[in-house]
C-alpha cells in the first residue's frame, strides 16, 4: 500500500449530527479525507492546532511524557484502512533500537503525532473512496473539498450511523 504524507487541514462540525470531523489532506494533491471523530479527540486536535496548552496535562500530554520518559520516539503515524465502516491507524514507535507498531484510532494517532511533531501518512487508496466506495450499500465518501462541504450540509442522521470511527 502506498502511503502519502498528509496534513491536518482542519476541523469541521457536522451540524446534523453535532459530530466533529477531522480533515486530512495529502501534500501536493487536491483531495481530502474526512474522518468523523469524538469531541474529546477534536478538543485535543484543536488545542494542538491553536498552540494552546492546558494548565494540567491531558491524556495526550501524558502519552507524550510516557513516550519521552521511556526514551522512545514516534517515527510516524499511518491511517491505513477503512474496514466495516471503521478507519484504522498505526503509531510507529522506536525504542532502544526496536520498532513497534501500535494499533490505534486515527483520531488518537493524529493528536499524538501533533503533540510530538511526527509525520502523518494516509493510505493513498483512502483518498479515492469517492470513486470506488467501500461497498455497494455504503455511499462513497467525498474526497474533494466541495463535495465534502456539500455533504456536511445535507447529511441525514441515518446516514451517519453507516460510518463508525
- Domain residue ranges of the chain, discontinuous segments joined by +: 3-160
Calpha distance 139→41 (Å, rounded) = 25
pLDDT, tens digit (0-9, with 9 covering 90-100), for 78-94 = 999 999 889 999 999 99
pLDDT for residue 131: 52
CA distances from 121 to 23, 24, 67 (A): 13, 9, 20
pLDDT, mean over the chain: 84
* 3-state class (DSSP) for residue 114: helix
CA torsion angle for 139, 142, 143, 149 (degrees, to 10)?
A: -170
Is the domain 3-160 a CATH 3.10.690.10 member?
yes
Amino acid at each position: 500500500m502506498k502511503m502519502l504524507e498528509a496534513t491536518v487541514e482542519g476541523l469541521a462540525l457536522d451540524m446534523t449530527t453535532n459530530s466533529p470531523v477531522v480533515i486530512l489532506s495529502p501534500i501536493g494533491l487536491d483531495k481530502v479525507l474526512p474522518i468523523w471523530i469524538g469531541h474529546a479527540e477534536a478538543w485535543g486536535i484543536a488545542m494542538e492546532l491553536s498552540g494552546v496548552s492546558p494548565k494540567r496535562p491531558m491524556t495526550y500530554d501524558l502519552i507524550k511524557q510516557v513516550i519521552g520518559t521511556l526514551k522512545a520516539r514516534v517515527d510516524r503515524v499511518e491511517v491505513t484502512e477503512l474496514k466495516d465502516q471503521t478507519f484504522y491507524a498505526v503509531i510507529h514507535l522506536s525504542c532502544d533500537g526496536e520498532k513497534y507498531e501500535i494499533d490505534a484510532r486515527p483520531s488518537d494517532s493524529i493528536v499524538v503525532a501533533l503533540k510530538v511533531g511526527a509525520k502523518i501518512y494516509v493510505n493513498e487508496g483512502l483518498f479515492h473512496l469517492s470513486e470506488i466506495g467501500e461497498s455497494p450499500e455504503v455511499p462513497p465518501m467525498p474526497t474533494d473539498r466541495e463535495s465534502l462541504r456539500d455533504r456536511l450540509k445535507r447529511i441525514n442522521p441515518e446516514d451517519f450511523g453507516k460510518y463508525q470511527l
